[in-house]
A and B are shown apart, each in its own frame.
Chain A
Amino acid sequence: MRNGTEREAVSEQIISVARLRSGYGGGDILRDISFDLSAGEILAILGKNGMGKSTLLKTIMGFVKPKSGSIKLRGVDVTNAEPHWIARRSIAYTPQEFAIFRELTVEENLRLGVESDSLLKQRLGDVRDAFPRMTERMSQRAGTLSGGEQKMLLLCRAIVSRPDIMLIDEISEGLQPTMIERMAEILRTARSKGVAILLIEQNLNFALSIADRFAILKIGEIVESGRFEGRDTAGKLEKHLRI
């Protein structure tokens, strides 16, 4: 599916972050972050808590205004854009916390992922392929789903919008291994369709199983990055990530 010529053809940088600096109030959480991401590629951002991973996604989505640096999505500068405008540029964001509307039904949550309700009907197939059980729970209130099912709903909502870019924040947290494997399959399928995925993870195993490249965030800076090359990489990374 991916060979050298295809990779050259799809060399357009879907996400391009340069010298990004941002934070809340006086302090800086992110200092001098730069990276690129192409279509059909999964980049795993690793690092311990509090090092800026979530802030990175929030800055890209426009919830935190960068203090300096730039963000480009498909060549378009979105550094100071509003979140709702960015969200409509075929980008799906799954936050780590408060990611679904617990008071709304599964169906209503999914509807919010697409522009019009008729589109959802057409794309229900996507949901069924990803997670068949979700289609049985359409009129259930999202808050009554189990933790794992809520994460699945989150991913379904992202999938159903058929984005070109996905920003995923620790979606495997607290999930059973079988579900994690299912999610890995879904993300691999998305990648094969050309989606660029930025994956925030603390679960090194999960990241290893699907990501092409990695970058380790420490106190707001990327201290190490590269391609995943088998179990050696894993050993090298462990020392950065252990408690």
Chain B
Amino acid sequence: MADSYASSTARNRRRFWLVGLVGLIALTTVMIAPYFLDRYLVNVLIRALFLAVLAITVDLVWGFAGILTFGQSAFFGIGAYACALVATHYGFGPYWFFGAFLIGLAAAALTAWLVGVLSFYHGASPLYSSIITLALPIVLVQIIFAGGRFTGSSSGISGFPTYYWAVETWFVIAGVMLVVIGCFAWLFVRSDLGRILVAIRENEDRCAYLGIPVSRIKIALFTACGSIGAAAGFGYAAFTNVVAPELGGFLLGTESLIWVALGGRGTLIGPIFGAIGIDVTSSYLSGTLPFLWKFIVGVLFVIVIVLLPNGFASLVTGAWRKFGPKRRSADANDERASHSILLRPAPTVTRLGSNGEKPIIIEGLGCRYGSLSVLGDLSFEGRPGELLSIVGPNGAGKTTLMRCISNGSERTAGTVRIAGNEIAKRSPEKVVGLGVGRSFQNTSLFDSLTVGDCLRLSRYRIDGARLLRRTHHVALPKPALGILEATGLDKHLDQETRYLSHGQKRGLELAMVLATEPSVLLLDEPTAGLTKTERTAIGDVLLSLTNSYGLCVILIEHDLDFVRQISDRIVVLHEGRMVLDGSVEEVVSSDLVKSVYSGHAAEVA
């Protein structure tokens, strides 16, 4: 075990050194480049470099986290105006300059935080957050207009006091900022937390049900990116010595999206080169062929969105994959070596029955949508080590019941207590924190993440996630390890989940839910789409979960043979109400249940 720790730290250190080396090379290029390029190009490049930093923030927020944002430019503008306003109206000097910088960062962070709190709540539609990010630069620009002489209104402010350093010096400053931010962003997206961002982009709901605080992460990311954008804007203003409302406006915001889309969202390198490339080319062409250039960019943008959603970077990686086979296999081995995960058993937290409370008690649970009552007055309890099946005809309210147990804001009446704790109005991630694990009917996981990544992020609630590092070992509770061995997934930890078979995905999902160490497990039709052998296998797994590990498992199922074989108790629902709660024999022999299920079949024979 000490070995694995050492190798993990060694791998991280190796990655740091690699990034450091690349960074060093980039920095050296930055230092010497101005002496080889003509003055005009250097000027243009300095501005492009600052804009590339903005592009990085857009890629992090949109490319990686999936939040469509039109308004990163607003933060750029806040930073720029902080520089100009403080210098113009208050004072200039080393302390003032630095102070203005901090003011810009703080103002942007505060704005971003407010926007985040407003728009990233559980259940918010992605469209709404996009709307807010759209409104932000528009409102900001109007505020600038309304500022009259203080803000320079529509003409902006120019010629304010700044450091009139040599162009080479500014180039180095911009370049250093880009390289440093770029390197940190690179480490960030490869780290545990970076993988979680991708998971949020692909399937936000499932993240919430694994106990990951999605809203908090999004808000934190947005705030950090706001500050970084402001820093870039500050530098831009300090160099160009001009600020105008366009720097914080809607058009720059959409342009930044265009850079990222064309360069390749979610790749970091793509947006950096996209921003620099497009901005530099614009500078050269805007004099001669202004509308033709914009036209070309517009057409490329539309083509990329429609046909090549992953931008031109995907063409590059695609070509690399095709035409560099030899090199690829060698790299692949290294890659796998550096990415492979080690599994080890987690120290078991005996939550189960430790305080004598029942794992789950439901009293008077009701759920209505307007005048339609889907569930009415349900009461039952689950005991540790018990497998409880919930059955009933279609529309009986079974899935609604699962939703009401796992999400505090769904039910309209009654209480749900998990190990004695009422779930009240808690959002799913907090209910998971109380000890509830839920699996879903569909098997949508996180397509582009590997099995190992999925398992690691399932441990977020208990083991957290590193900001810049990637942990190479994942501690899993025994039941989860058991499932991985049974399905053979423990040999395929580096396989992307999109390539798994249906049965394997089910197994992985179950392992992920178990990784959150629940005391109550809610399974929604776990056998749907499985073959007979797979059904038997999963039946064995569920039995071991209750018999050997003492979990309380609650299952919705249609396969009544399956239910009969493995359940300790069965609850029958019909039209939202409980018809019967009893042992397998009681339910099977009940005439009432028969009539509920087969209409009038009881009258035959």
Contacts and interface: CB of A to CB of B under 8 A. Distances in A.
Interface string A20-60: 00011111110000000000000000001111000000000
Contact of B599 (A25, A206, A234): A206
Interface in B564-605: 587-588, 593-594, 597-601, 603-605
A235 B394 contact: no
A29 B588 CA distance: 26
A235 B604 CA distance: 8
Task: Name the residue among B587, B588, B594, B601 with the largest chain A CB count within 10 angstroms.
Answer: B601
Contact of B594 (A28, A173, A242): A242
A27 B530 contact: yes
A204 B599 contact: yes
B598 A202 contact: yes
B354 interface: no
A242 B500 CA distance: 35
Nearest to B558: A50
A183 to B, nearest CB: 12
Contacts of A241: 598, 601
B528 interface: yes
Given A24-B529, A205-B604, A243-B587, A219 B559 contact: yes
A86 interface: no
A49 B393 contact: yes
Contacts of A243: 391, 560, 587-588, 593-594, 597-598
Contacts of A50: 525, 528, 557-559
Task: Name the residue among A24, A29, A172, A243 with the largest chain B CB count within 10 angstroms.
Answer: A243
Given A25-B443, A49-B394, A243-B560, A204 B525 contact: no
A28 B525 CA distance: 14
B558 A202 contact: no
B502 A242 contact: no
Nearest to A206: B599
11 contacts: A25-B443, A26-B501, A27-B443, A27-B502, A27-B503, A204-B604, A205-B603, A219-B532, A234-B605, A238-B601, A242-B594
B395 interface: yes
Interface residues of A, number: 30
Contacts of B559: 48, 50, 219
B442 interface: yes
Interface in A82-117: 96-97
Contacts of A205: 599-601, 603-604
B395 A26 contact: no
Nearest to A54: B394
B597 A208 contact: no
A48 B558 contact: yes
Given A29-B528, A97-B395, 8 more contacts: A25-B442, A26-B502, A27-B443, A48-B559, A204-B604, A205-B601, A205-B604, A243-B391
B358 interface: no
Interface string A187-223: 0000000000000001111101000000000010000
Contacts of A4: none
B373 to A, nearest CB: 14
B443 A231 contact: no
B104 to A, nearest CB: 48
A202 B443 contact: no
Contacts of A203: 598-601
Interface residues of B, number: 34
A208 B605 CA distance: 12
B604 A208 contact: yes
B505 interface: yes
Interface of A: 23-29, 48-51, 96-97, 172-173, 177, 202-206, 208, 219, 231, 234-235, 238, 241-243
B558 A172 contact: no
Nearest to A231: B605
Contacts of B501: 26
Contacts of A235: 604-605
A48 to B, nearest CB: 6
Interface string B28-44: 00000000000000000
Contacts of B444: 25
Nearest to B587: A243
Contacts of A231: 604-605
Interface string B385-407: 00000010111000000000000
A204 B529 contact: no
Contacts of B443: 25-27
Interface string B495-511: 00000111101000000
A238 B597 CA distance: 12
A173 B605 contact: no
Contacts of A202: 393, 597-599, 601
Nearest to A236: B605
B206 to A, nearest CB: 15
A28 B604 contact: no
Contact of A27 (B529, B558, B587, B605): B529
Contacts of B598: 202-204, 241-243
Task: Name the residue among A27, A172, A202 with the largest chain B CB count within 10 angstroms.
Answer: A27
A26 B587 contact: no
A153 to B, nearest CB: 18
Given A26-B505, A27-B529, A97-B395, A238 B558 contact: no
Contacts of B531: 28
A16 to B, nearest CB: 26
B316 to A, nearest CB: 31
A25 B506 CA distance: 12
B529 A28 contact: yes
Nearest to A31: B531
Nearest to B441: A24
Contacts of B600: 177, 203-206
Nearest to A27: B529
Contact of B529 (A25, A97, A208): A25
8 closest residue pairs by CB, A with B: A27-B529, A50-B558, A26-B502, A203-B599, A27-B502, A49-B558, A204-B601, A205-B600
A27 B558 CA distance: 16
A172 B599 contact: yes
A48 B393 CA distance: 9
A29 B441 CA distance: 13
Contacts of A208: 604
